[in-house]
């Protein structure tokens, strides 16, 4: 059984106390809770070649890399035979990028370069001119430049090696230039749609009230739990950007569903502020079972006599303290040692309506670990005393 050290437990206790004594509500800007419908990033993708690698490129059997390199050289006016091309210094890659809204021709954006062949590393490579296309297959940007990997891979002829980070994926900062603008305009709009990042009826109503109170008239109305319709008044028709800037800086207290998130893979437990429980008694004890297996070797004494005829030679018996081996042979016997230990923890009562801070203090009093909390919360939920959504990831 694995045990959690004092340091992770202390970290959990500190986080839990911070959560327990935190203010009951906080305000966030609308720009952090929502976005304007239609104003978003657009994804681009392209296929390219990385050259200049130090023997860490694709192997000769990677057909698409050889074909791509041959086609590129052919377009430069040099005819080559594909069978005579070595691609150990070349790697085929996929290039991806996000174009922010309102990007103009000539703006620079970052690109991510990922190997799609069997290259060992992109360290020291240079991406050749690669067109980046949208879902409509039109070219919106061109990417080129040296790749920053942030890691390395080194190996010997015997098969061993050392790898740091992920050397087959790299980034080119401001490595692409926007060549086509994505048409987006909000000037002259009569209305806009505000989309909440997390749909919630209470939060949507609070956003509506904040906007209408700020402008002194009914401009926002809720469409559903995840969106609001914002009417643009006549005096803001030519100043929509100014109005959006005013709206997105308004502060609203968001609401959320009471939820407990459990991650069994890492032992992480996240408890929401609105979690409440009914009266319940909690006791948690660990049962540890340890089994040690070892083998005992029985070595016959010198000049040990052979067993009588008809004796089972697969067994050995002590005879007046002398071990008689089966025909003078060494015998190996298994030996098991089983230990069972159960903790004796106290039974503690958690009163009805307990807040997250009270719950954390009670659970810490019986010495639970984050992994123990996973089992405890599942048991409380099964008992019907946990008034929150229990989510396992």
Per-residue confidence (pLDDT) for residue 218, from 0 to 100: 94
List residues bridging with 251 in a β-sheet: 29
Q: Tell me: the pLDDT tens digits for 308-351?
A: 666 555 544 444 444 444 455 667 777 666 665 555 555 556 66
Structural domains of the chain, ranges and CATH numbers in brackets: 6-23+259-286+344-392 (no CATH), 30-38+185-252 (3.90.1150), 42-150+164-178 (no CATH), 288-342 (no CATH)
- How would residue 132 be classed by pLDDT, with cut points 50, 70 and 90? very high
Burial of 85 (0-12, 13-18, 19+ CB in 10 A): middle
Q: What does the pLDDT read at residue 268?
A: 81
pTM of the model: 0.66
Measuring CA to CA, how many Å separate 388 from each of 105, 107, 267, 373? 50, 47, 19, 15
Taking the CB of residue 106, how many other CB atoms lie within 10 A of it? 9
Task: Give the pLDDT band (50/70/90) at residue 209.
Answer: very high
Measured distance CA(50)–CA(144) in Å, rounded: 10
SS (H, E, C) 222-273: EEECCEEEEECCHHHCCCHHHHHHHHHCCEECCCCCCEEEEECCCCEEEECC
pLDDT of residue 3: 41
Contact 295, 334 (CB under 8 A): yes
Q: How far is CA 97 from the centre of its chain?
A: 20
pLDDT band at 34; cut points 50, 70, 90: very high
Q: CB of 289 within 8 A of CB of 338?
A: yes
The values of phi and psi at residue 317, to 5°, are -130, 145
Query: Model confidence at 376, in pLDDT bands (50, 70, 90)?
Result: confident
User: Radius of gyration of the chain from Cα atoms?
Assistant: 34
Helix (H) / strand (E) element for 221: namely strand 220-224
CB 53 within 8 A of CB 90: yes
């Amino acid at each position: 059984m694995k045990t959690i050290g004092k340091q992770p437990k202390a970290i959990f206790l500190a986080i839990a106390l911070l959560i327990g004594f935190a203010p009951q509500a906080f305000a966030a800007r609308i720009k952090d809770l929502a976005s304007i419908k239609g104003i978003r990033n657009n994804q681009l993708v392209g296929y390219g070649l990385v050259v200049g690698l130090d023997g860490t490129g694709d192997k000769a059997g990677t057909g698409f890399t050889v074909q791509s390199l041959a086609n590129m050289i052919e377009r430069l006016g040099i005819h080559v035979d594909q069978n005579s091309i070595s691609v150990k210094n070349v790697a085929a890659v996929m290039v991806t990028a996000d174009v922010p809204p309102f990007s103009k021709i000539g703006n620079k954006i970052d690109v991510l370069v990922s190997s799609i062949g069997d290259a060992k590393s992109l360290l020291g490579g240079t991406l050749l001119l690669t067109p980046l296309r949208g879902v409509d297959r039109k070219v919106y940007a061109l990417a080129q430049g040296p790749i920053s990997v942030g890691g390395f891979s080194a190996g010997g002829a015997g098969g061993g090696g050392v790898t740091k980070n992920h050397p087959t994926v790299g980034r080119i900062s401001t490595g692409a230039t926007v060549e086509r603008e994505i048409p987006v305009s909000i000037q002259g709009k009569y209305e806009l749609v505000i989309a909440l990042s997390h749909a919630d009826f209470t939060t949507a109503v609070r956003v509506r009230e904040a906007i209408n109170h700020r402008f002194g008239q009914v401009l926002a109305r809720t469409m559903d739990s995840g969106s609001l319709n914002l009417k643009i008044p006549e005096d803001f028709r030519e100043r929509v950007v100014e109005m959006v800037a005013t709206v997105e800086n308004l502060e609203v207290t968001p609401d959320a569903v009471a939820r407990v998130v459990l991650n069994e893979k890492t032992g992480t437990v996240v408890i929401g502020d609105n979690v409440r429980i009914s009266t319940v008694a909690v006791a948690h004890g660990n049962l540890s079972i340890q089994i040690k297996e070892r083998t005992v070797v029985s070595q016959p004494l010198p000049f040990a006599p052979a067993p009588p005829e008809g004796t089972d030679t697969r067994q050995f018996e002590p005879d007046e303290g002398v071990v008689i081996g089966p025909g003078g042979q060494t015998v190996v016997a298994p030996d098991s040692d089983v230990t069972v230990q159960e903790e004796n923890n106290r039974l503690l009562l958690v009163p009805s309506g307990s807040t997250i801070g009270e719950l954390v203090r009670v659970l810490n009093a019986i010495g639970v670990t984050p992994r123990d909390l996973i089992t405890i919360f599942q048991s409380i939920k099964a008992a019907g005393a946990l008034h929150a959504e229990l989510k396992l990831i």
